[in-house]
Amino acid sequence: MLRILITAIMLIASPLMAQEDVVVDLSQNRVDITATFAGSNIFVFGAVKREAPLPEGTGPLDVAIVIEGPLETVTVRRKEKKLGIWVNTDSVEVHEAPSFFTIATTRPLVEMLNEGDRRDYAIGLDFAVRPQGPSEEDVESFAEAVIRIRQDDGLYSQREGIVNLTEETLFEADISLPANLVEGDYNVRIYLIRDKNIVSDATVGIAVRKAGLEAWLYNLSREYALLYGLLSIFVALAAGYGASEIFRRLKR
């Protein structure tokens, strides 16, 4: 009887889950980091595709957009004051910390999505960094420190209420990217949410790459280290000579 009941519930619920899908696009799929890069903006827009009208009594639709940078391992150190001097006492490697993380929503996140889905899908600043270690409670505090530090640096943010949703069909959001982005592949995850549950999702990518003189110097330092070192010495000598020549002429 229990199996029959579970099967019946799934059959009733599945049409509702299947009749909505998300179609999404971005204003640009590539961001070039140049010597004068001062940040960028990504315009996310999309539509909700339905195969049939929704049943009466269905809750309102919400949209959450998550932009996540490449994952990296961060070493976090705890400092304590001993004998009047601040010293490092403990350190933990926090794994799978996104280099960039921002989320945009139609309204406050805790009001539109249940905690289980927020944790499982890493939606929200509370779940941006997933700690791993022998002492889960201790690692959790270090993960919170990573989130706090990167919020101060403008790399982590939660922007509630900036996604515009029109007649539960069209949505759009203008999301700014800071100047201190790292190079790599970024994921843009879009979630459709009803009755505090995710009903559909989609993922698109953004390639963040160095370009222009910045890219040339970066590749030179990696592929021709000796030449890059000699060039750096030459530039330093030329700058020093030029500065001394200017001061010498000003003293005349």
Using one digit for the tens of pLDDT, what is the confidence trace for 51-100? Answer: 878 777 788 999 999 999 999 887 777 666 666 666 656 667 777 789 99
Closest by CA position to 188, among listed 26, 21, 67: 67
Which tens digits make up the pLDDT trace of 151-192?
999 999 999 999 999 998 999 999 999 989 989 999 999 999
Give me the residue spans of the domains in the chain. Answer: 13-210, 211-252
The mean per-residue pLDDT over the stretch 102-129 comes to 92
- Give the whole-angstrom CA distance, residue 121 versus residue 215: 34
Percentage of residues of the chain with pLDDT beyond 90: 41
Q: Give the 3-state secondary structure of residue 219.
A: helix
- Give the whole-angstrom CA distance, residue 112 versus residue 108: 7
Q: Looking at residue 191, what is its pLDDT?
A: 96
Residue 6 backbone dihedrals phi, psi, to 5 degrees: -65, -45
Given a cut of 60, whether residue 109 has pLDDT beyond it is: yes
Q: Give the 3-state secondary structure of residue 89.
A: strand
* Higher-pLDDT residue of 149, 10: 149
Beta-carbon contacts of residue 201 (< 8 Å; ≥ 6 apart): 22, 121, 189, 190, 191, 192
Mean pLDDT of the chain: 80
Percentage of residues of the chain with pLDDT beyond 70: 77
Copy the structure tokens of residue 128.
């941006």
Domain 13-210 is found in CATH 2.60.40.3880: yes
- Give the whole-angstrom CA distance, residue 89 versus residue 72: 23
User: CA quadruple 113, 115, 119, 122: dihedral positive or negative?
Assistant: positive
* C-beta of residue 131 within 8 angstroms of C-beta of residue 94: yes
Q: What is the DSSP string of 144-180?
A: HHHHHHHHHTTSEEEEET--EEETTTEEEEEEEE-TT
Closest by CA position to 193, among listed 67, 85, 106: 106
